[in-house]
Amino acid sequence: MLASYERLDRPFALPDPVTCADPAEATKAQALVRYLAHAFSPFEFRTAEPASETTIAGVLDAVEALLDG
């Protein structure tokens, strides 16, 4: 889904984190963007894409882990 969206929306193409002022922060932000770009079952009806079975709590735990990591 992310790859197909990137073809449609070129500004979504993320820069190399090394080119950013804070590469570690940019890496975390890009990981978060990539994770949230996937289809999750609570949002499947909006995208019409097959979604993974993930609870809201699971999504929030994963986001927290990405930001803490």
Q: Kindly list the domain boundaries of the chain, sorted by start residue.
A: 24-69
Neighbours of 4 (CB within 10 A): 9
Stated as kind and residue range, the H or E segment containing 65 is helix 56-68
| 40 pLDDT above the threshold of 70 | no
> Model confidence at 62, in pLDDT bands (50, 70, 90)?
confident
DSSP state of 18: G
Half-sphere exposure of 60 (CA within 13 A, CB side): 4
| 44 pLDDT above the threshold of 70 | no
* AA letter at 17: P
